[in-house]
Structure 1
């Protein structure tokens, strides 16, 4: 190979490396979910799943939008309780929280948490608490989660219960609270806007 060919190859390899380094791993997009009463910034195109969950001899609809990016699953779960079911909200929320917290061997008082805010669609800032969970390890891979629960009145007199979370499964780097403060995660939480 001539010297000029080697220089050309070197320039090509450097440009290829630089372009791949500049390519965004996360493809942020605002996802509107008018049926579930929110918009959110997802780091990729989410898939949507709906199911019914049994609760006190009733079938309660639950909707989930989620996307997996490398070791992370970003998700928003929403449950709508009709006006007639609205009184079930506190106990249903407690059950949802309890199921998840129990898997992490903590409760609302002992789980790592921080005060935060979310902003409604009409720009009202509301205080919220984020929880940082570290699940018992079953090997080299550690599983941790940042999660928040939001309860909002619906326009039909019912209630929406939202669970917004990021689940991370990989070898542990730092504690969950510090890890989930990175921009790739805070964007997702900061840009969730219920009605």
Structure 2
């Protein structure tokens, strides 16, 4: 009887271990040569191109995103040619303003932390991480972590990247604690612009 009980315990332990090793996230490296980056996504992302209006012109924005349960992992990229690279600062301010103003209007808050990303040549480059809570009726509904990265293009223009995770149905208002967990940090740490 002891041996059969031991076998059942061993079987349950092995089964539990196998279930624990079967993650819902299917991490994969995604190469995006047109947008000049590689990234680690937790699933196969969908890709969407659209034109966005900016100062009486339209700029191409490419978005790669995947939704896993309550989380949306996304990377947006905009290329500014050399003759428009002077618009980079204004474009970043507009992108940040749209999102940060939405947080403030909703009654949420924004925490800014120093971070770093790794360039394709392995250099660590400083960047700011924005941890955002969006509220509705005084209750936290969404948490977001976002960073904006500008990289110089070979021809003298600029690439603007917005790397973000949106967590819906947030139970806590502490976006930093939630979105600094390993399953989210991997996405930010493995984004590499060329």
What band does the TM-score fall into relative to the shorter chain?
Answer: 0.7 to 0.9
Match of 1:5 in 2: none
Q: What's the C-alpha RMSD, in Å, of the aligned pairs?
A: 2.4
Structure 1 CA distance for aligned equivalents of residues 120 and 10 of structure 2: 48
CA contact (8 A) 2:134 2:140 kept: no
Q: Report the Cα offset of residue 20 of structure 1.
A: 3.3
1:116-156 CA distance string (max 9 Å, x none)? 11011111110111000001225876201000000111112
Match of 1:75 in 2: 74
* Cα-to-partner distance string for 1:35-81 (whole Å, 9 max, x where unaligned): 10111111111000000001111110000000000000000000001
Aligned structure 1 segments of 4 or more residues deviating by more than 6 angstroms: 8-15
- Give the corresponding residue for 1:44: 43
Q: CA deviation at 1:111?
A: 2.6
Q: 1:138 to 1:29 in 2, by over 3 A?
A: farther
Which sections of structure 1, spanning at least 5 residues, go unmatched?
A: 1-7
Could you tell me how far 1:21 is from its partner in structure 2? 3.3
In structure 2, relative to structure 1, the CA distance for the partners of 1:70 and 1:141 (3 Å cut) is: farther
Aligned to 2:55: 56
Alpha-carbon contact 2:143-2:170 (below 8 Å) kept: no
Task: Describe the SS at the equivalent of 1:111.
Answer: strand
Q: Which runs of 5+ in 2 are unaligned?
A: 1-6
1:114 CA displacement: 1.2
Closer, same or farther in 2 for the Cα pair 1:141/1:20, shift >3 Å? farther
Q: Are residue 157 (structure 1) and residue 156 (structure 2) matched?
A: yes
Contact 2:144–2:165 (CA under 8 A) maintained in structure 1? yes
Which residue of 2 is the match for residue 4 of structure 1? none
Contact 1:73-1:168 at 8 Å conserved across structures: yes
Who is 2:20 aligned against? Answer: 21
1-structure distance, mates of 2:125, 2:140: 35
Q: Distance in 2 between matches of 1:142 and 1:92?
A: 28
TM-score (norm 2): 0.87
Aligned length: 188
